[in-house]
């Protein structure tokens, strides 16, 4: 749709209304980031002073340097977050790709109910199951290790990943499988050599959304199942800036921005995939 249709042409006052609406909407969305960024530029003494000033006086990037000094382990927290999310994504893909294919292609007794059961997992947050999960992690002997954060994280990302990838795979023409099958290929060969290559864009979308989901939601397991700072991911690690007396707000905000920079870069380059992933899973019910 390169040429705007007549129906979509706006009068000047409509345009003003739309842009005002977008401005109000985005102000709500972005205000905390703007404020957070300005806080990271202010010296601590200026932060704790009244009256409130929006724009920093003699602001500097000093906090971005001192944050590494105050919390020497910070780089480790970022690494941990990345490491955990990478492993989680890999495990989710290994479990979900075959399962999504099974749901997309084969009708067998109970398949509908089974899919429903998988989706029902989505309704429990880890918080509800925390007590038995804690006991389970303890009996596995993985408390206070990376696995304590990875193992439950994977389980709660499986349902949406299956749903998304199943939707994608259902759009691959069935004739392809049948042709391969008639030619004498085994089911497994068909999956590996015919379906996987075609489904690659869909798998990429699932990988990205899973990675981001994992990066964003490590808090509760890390808080409950891990007490060792060397395995703490970013959201828990940031609590290191909460001192005994006061919170070092400017460094906390600086550290937050350093921590979210990777996610922002991902959004910037992959937002097309993100939107299409969301859309595929959402609208085609």
Partner 1 sequence: MSVQRSTVIFAWILLLPALLYVAVIVAYPLVDTFILSFTDASLKKTTKWVGWINYEKIFNATFAEVIIRTFVWTFFSVSIKMIIGVFGASMLNAAVPGRALFRVLTMPPWIVPMAIGIFMWGWMYNGQFGMISGVLQRVGFADGPIAFLAQGSTAFWATIITDVWIGVPLVTLYMLAAMQSIPQDLYEAAWTDGAGRFYRFRRITVPLLIPSLITMSMLSLIATFNSFDIIWILTRGGPSGETTTMIIDTYRTAIGSNKYGEGAARAVLICIFLSIFCLAYFRVTSRLSSGENR
**Residues in region 253-282 near partner 1 by CB under 8 A:** 253, 256, 259-260, 263-264, 266-268, 271, 274-275, 278-279, 282
Q: Which of 122, 138, 171, 189 binds partner 1 (CB under 8 A)?
A: 122
Residue among 60 and 279 whose Cβ is closer to partner 1? 279
Q: How many CB atoms lie within 10 A of CB 226?
A: 24
The residues, any chain, with a CB within 8 Å of residue 72's CB and separated by 6 or more, are none
Q: What per-residue string of b and e applies to 154-171 under the rule 16 or more CB within 10 Å gives b?
A: bbbbbbbbbbbbbbbbee
Cα gap 24→154, rounded to integer Å: 37
* Residue 96 touches partner 1, criterion: CB under 8 A: yes
DSSP state of 55: S
Choose among 35, 71, 46: nearest CA to 253: 35
| Residue placing its CB nearer to partner 1 in the complex, 107 or 244 | 107
Q: What's the min distance (Å) between Cβ of 275 and partner 1? A: 6
Residues 6+ apart with CB under 8 A from 102: 111
Q: Which of residues 72-91 bind partner 1 (CB under 8 A)?
A: 81
Tokens matching residue 276: 């299409």
* Residue 206 beta carbon to partner 1: minimum distance, rounded to whole angstroms: 13
Smallest distance from partner 1 to CB 280, Å: 9
Are residues 274 and 268 in contact, defined by beta-carbon separation less than 8 angstroms? Answer: no
Interface pattern 124-163 for partner 1 (x via CB under 8 A): xx-xxxxxxxxxx--------------xx-xxx-x---x-
CA distance 236 to 221: 10
Q: Which of residues 1-40 bind partner 1 (CB under 8 A)?
A: 4-8, 10, 14-15, 18-19, 21-22, 25-26, 28-33, 35-36, 39
Could you say which residues in the range 56-75 bind partner 1, by CB under 8 A? none
Stretch 162-221 residues interacting with partner 1 (CB under 8 A): 162, 187-188, 191, 212, 215-220
């Amino acid at each position: 749709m390169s040429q705007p249709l007549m129906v979509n042409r706006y009068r000047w006052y409509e345009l003003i209304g739309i842009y005002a609406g977008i401005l109000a909407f985005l102000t709500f969305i972005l205000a905390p980031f703007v404020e957070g960024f300005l806080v990271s530029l202010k010296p601590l003494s200026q932060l704790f002073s009244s009256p409130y000033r929006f724009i920093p006086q003699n602001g500097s990037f000093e906090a971005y340097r001192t944050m590494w000094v105050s919390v020497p382990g910070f780089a480790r927290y970022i690494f941990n977050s990345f490491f955990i999310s990478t492993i989680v994504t890999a495990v989710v893909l290994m479990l979900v790709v075959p399962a999504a294919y099974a749901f997309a292609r084969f009708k067998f007794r109970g398949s509908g109910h089974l899919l429903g059961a998988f989706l029902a997992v989505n309704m429990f947050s880890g918080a509800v199951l925390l007590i038995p999960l804690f006991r389970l992690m303890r009996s596995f002997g993985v408390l206070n290790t990376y696995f304590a954060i990875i193992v439950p994280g994977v389980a709660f990302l499986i349902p949406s990943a299956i749903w998304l990838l199943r939707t994608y795979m259902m759009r691959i023409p069935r004739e392809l499988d049948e042709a391969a099958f008639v030619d004498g290929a085994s089911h497994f060969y068909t999956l590996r050599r015919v379906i996987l290559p075609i489904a690659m864009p869909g798998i990429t979308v699932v990988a990205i959304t899973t990675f981001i989901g994992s990066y964003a939601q490590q808090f509760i397991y890390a808080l409950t199942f891990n007490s060792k700072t060397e395995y703490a991911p970013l959201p828990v690690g940031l609590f290191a800036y909460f001192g005994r007396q006061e919170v070092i707000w400017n460094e906390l905000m600086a550290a937050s921005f350093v921590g979210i920079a990777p996610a922002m870069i991902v959004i910037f380059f992959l937002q097309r995939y993100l939107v299409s992933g969301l859309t595929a899973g959402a609208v085609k019910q």
